[in-house]
A and B are shown apart, each in its own frame.
Chain A
Amino acid sequence: GESVGLHLPTLSVQEGDNSIINCAYSNSASDYFIWYKQESGKGPQFIIDIRSNMDKRQGQRVTVLLNKTVKHLSLQIAATQPGDSAVYFCAENLYNQGGKLIFGQGTELSVKP
């Protein structure tokens, strides 16, 4: 069925290291992907997005990579900081379902000082 999932529910990294959070999706009709960050007690916040006609997109300290061949999405965070500790969700937009987003389970990132 259609689903968006994450390979690991938790990820622990040392402060200053790079973090990589992965996401697998199953629908080849998805045309738009978003990464959200959710801190404790808050709603999800947009981090970065990518359209299906791109392989890579960079933001401030974050990079999203899209591999359509294997339906894989990743979020890379450079020089991870304690403030990056949160749950990270990927979401896909199915082209044939208008604006509806399908969210993955989430990966909890913990940054050790």
Chain B
Amino acid sequence: ETGVTQTPRHLVMGMTNKKSLKCEQHLGHNAMYWYKQSAKKPLELMFVYNFKEQTENNSVPSRFSPECPNSSHLFLHLHTLQPEDSALYLCASSQELRSGGRYNEQFFGPGTRLTVL
């Protein structure tokens, strides 16, 4: 248990569906992240929030919409996805965004395995 939970663990959706991924951290952290992990590729950073403010959108298509209502919760809203969006979506948290040291150690959830048909 890393203190970061994600639901659902598995999701199958059609291209016209709308769904949401949820992430919750119980670590008292202030920074939260969404990553996409595809087979044979490095982790791709999608979004970063620090103290509920979005600090990074890494050129992610608008069919992915993040929401961070408070420092403990992070959502990823999905609509009209494509089959190539099928991947493992990982949420992570860290103490906060700042340069150097253990502040930047990120704790990961187990991920949501998304399949788009």
User: How close is B110's CB to chain A, nearest CB, in angstroms?
Assistant: 5
Number of interface residues of A (CB under 8 A): 26
Task: Choose the segment among B11-19, B66-74, B75-83, B98-106 that binds chain A (4+ C-beta atoms closer than 8 Å).
Answer: B98-106
Is A103 positioned at the interface, with any CB of B under 8 Å from its CB? yes
Q: Using a CB-CB cutoff of 8 Å, which residues 78-109 of chain A contact chain B? A: 89, 93, 95-96, 98-101, 103-106
Is residue B43 within 8 Å, beta carbon to beta carbon, of the partner chain? yes
Asked if B56 and A99 sit within 8 Å, CB to CB, the answer is: no
Interface size class of B (residues with CB under 8 A): 20 to 34
Residues of B that sit less than 8 Å from A by CB: 2, 4, 6, 31, 40-43, 45, 48, 50, 55-56, 90, 92, 94, 96-111
Contacts of A96 in B (CB 8 A): 99
Q: Does A45 contact B (CB under 8 A)?
A: yes
Q: Are A99 and B108 in contact (CB under 8 A)?
A: no
Contact of A101 (CB < 8 Å), options: B40, B41, B106, B111: B106
Specify which chain B residues have a CB less than 8 angstroms from the CB of A93 in the assembled complex: 99-100, 104
A41 to B109 Cα, complex, angstroms: 11
Question: 6 A-B pairs, CB-CB below 8 angstroms?
Answer: A43-B6, A44-B90, A46-B105, A98-B99, A99-B31, A104-B42
The interface of chain A, by Cβ under 8 A from chain B, is 4, 9, 31-32, 34, 36, 41-46, 49, 51, 89, 93, 95-96, 98-101, 103-106
Contact A31 B56 (CB under 8 A): no
Q: Is the CB of A98 within 8 A of B109?
A: no
Contact B96 A99 (CB under 8 A): yes
Nearest CB in chain B to that of A31: its residue: B100
* Residues on the A chain within 8 Å of B40, using CB: 9, 105
